[in-house]
Amino acid sequence: MQVDYIIVGLGLAGVAFTKELAENNKSFVVFEDNSQNSSMVAGGMYNPVILKRFTLVWDAVDQLRLAIPFYRDLEEKFQKKYHYQINIYRILKSFEEQNNWFESCDKPLLSGYMKPEIITKKFKGIIANYGFGKLTNTGRIDTKNLLNDYRNFLTSKKLVKNESFNYDELEIEKEAISYNGIKAFKIVFCEGFGLKKNPFFKYLPMKEVKGELLTIHAPDLDVDFLIKAALFVLPLGNNYYKVGATFNWQDKTKLPSEEGKQELILKLESFISSPYKIVDHTAGIRPTVKDRRPLVGKHPTYQNLAIFNGLGTRGVMIAPKMAKTLYNHLEKEVVLPAEISITRFEKYFLNQDGTLQKS
Ligand SMILES: Cc1cc2nc3c(=O)[nH]c(=O)nc-3n(C[C@H](O)[C@H](O)[C@H](O)COP(=O)(O)OP(=O)(O)OC[C@H]3O[C@@H](n4cnc5c(N)ncnc54)[C@H](O)[C@@H]3O)c2cc1C
C-alpha cells in the first residue's frame, strides 16, 4: 500500500487535517485506537471571548473565519446538523463586574460579541443577582456526532485502521516512511494526550488537563442560551443540559470520578436552583500546552514526521485553521508562525537526546 500520508489519531485534529488532505487530493490512511476521547466528550462550544477577564481569545477572529465554513462543509457533506448558534449569558457577580462588562463592550473587537447592556430579566431556576452579560456570535459544534459520522465515512472508504499505532515499527528513510507494509511520504501525529507515548515527540511540554462533564435533565429549567458562571450549563434541547467542566492537572485517566462529580454538583447548585437528575457523566483529557498555543511542525531530525496537537481547551475553533497552516507548511514550505511552531521547544529536544542532529 502506498499513500501520501499516514495519520495517527482521529479526533478534531485528525479530522481537520484529513479533510485538508482530501481537498488537496492527497491519499492517506488513519490509525485510531480510541485510547483518548477529548473530542468525543467536549462541550463543543466556540466563544472568542475569555469570560474571566473579558478579553479576546488569541487569534479568535481569524480562527472563526475558517472554522464556521469548515463545519458547514461537513454538514453539507453528511446532510446532518452539527453547528448550533447559541448565545452565552454570563452571570455577573458584582457591580464591579457590571462596570467591567460595559468597559469591555466598548473595545473594538469585543463589541462584535458582547452586548452593551445588562440583562436583568429573571429566569426560573437561575440565581443571578447582578444580572447577565450577553454574548452573541457564539455557538456549539456537536463534536460527538460529527466525529462518529466522519469516522464511519472514512471507514466505509477503508481509510481507517482501528488499531494502535506501534511507534517501534515505524521505519524512517530520507524521502519516505514505512509502517507494516504501508509506504508513505509523511506521517502526521494527531494523538491528543496520546502524545505522551510517542517517542519522537514526547519531549514537547504538554500540560494535559482532565475535564469531567455531567448531562442533566432539569424539567423546570427552560433556556436556549448557555449559562456561564462557575461552570457552563449548555442547552441540548428538551430540558437536557451539559454541565462542565472540571480542570484536574493530576489525574491522567479518562475515567469519570466521584470527586469530579461532587465538584460539578457543588458548583452547579451555586447558581442553579431547579431540581435536576444526572443522566450521564463523562471525562476526557485536554491536550494543553504551558504557553496555550498549539504544537505544530516537523520533527527536529526527521523532516517527514510532523505533529498536530496542543489544541487545549478550544479545539473546535483552532483545529480548522491549524490544519490548513500545517498543510501549507508541509506541502508548500510556508514558514510556520513562531508562536505555534514546535521549534519554540527545540531546547527540550536537544536536552533530552543530544546525540540527534538536525538534518
Ligand atoms: C471535558 C472537556 C470539555 C471540553 N470542551 C470543549 C469545548 O467546549 N470547546 C472546545 O473547543 N474544546 C473543548 N474541549 C477541548 C477539545 O476537546 C480538544 O481541544 C480537542 O478535542 C483535542 O482534539 P485532538 O484531536 O487533538 O485530541 P483527541 O480528541 O484526544 O484525539 C486524539 C485521537 O488520537 C487517538 N490516538 C492516540 N494515540 C494513538 C495511537 N498510538 N494509535 C492510534 N490512535 C491513537 C485517540 O484515540 C484519539 O481519538 C474539551 C475537552 C474536555 C476534556
Nearest atom within ligand 1 for CA of residue 308: 26
> Would you tell me the crossing angle of helices 60-78 and 143-156 to the nearest 10 degrees?
50
Cα–Cα distance for residue pair 14/16, rounded to 1 Å: 6
Q: Atom 3 (ligand 1): residue with closest C-alpha?
A: 42
For a ligand 1 pocket test, name from 15, 20, 36, 179 the mutation site with the most ligand atoms within 8 angstroms of its C-beta: 36
> What average pLDDT values come out for the chain (359 residues) when binned by 10 residues?
97 98 98 97 95 91 96 98 97 95 89 93 96 96 98 98 97 94 97 96 94 98 96 97 96 95 98 97 96 96 96 97 98 97 90 46
Classify strands 45-46 and 28-31 as parallel, antiparallel or unpaired.
unpaired
Asked if 51 contacts 88 with a C-beta cutoff of 8 angstroms, the reply is yes
Q: What is the pTM of this model?
A: 0.95
Residue type, 176: A
> Which H or E run contains 346?
helix 346-352
C-alpha closest to that of 66 among 43, 41, 48: 48
Binding site membership of 139 for ligand 1 (Cβ less than 6 Å)? no
Write the pLDDT tens digit of every residue in 267-300: 999 999 999 999 999 999 999 999 999 999 999 9
Nearest atom within ligand 1 for CA of residue 15: 25
Ligand 1 centre to CA of 99 (Å) is 37
Asked if 192 contacts 38 with a C-beta cutoff of 8 angstroms, the reply is yes
Burial of 191 (0-12, 13-18, 19+ CB in 10 A): buried
Binding site membership of 231 for ligand 1 (Cβ less than 6 Å)? no
3-class DSSP state of 71: helix
Nearest atom within ligand 1 for CA of residue 315: 19
pLDDT for position 359 = 38
Q: Atom 11 (ligand 1): residue with closest C-alpha?
A: 314
Cα–Cα distance for residue pair 300/198, rounded to 1 Å: 14
Burial of 163 (0-12, 13-18, 19+ CB in 10 A): exposed
What residues does 357 pair with on adjacent strands? none
Residue 107 CB neighbour total at 10 angstroms = 12
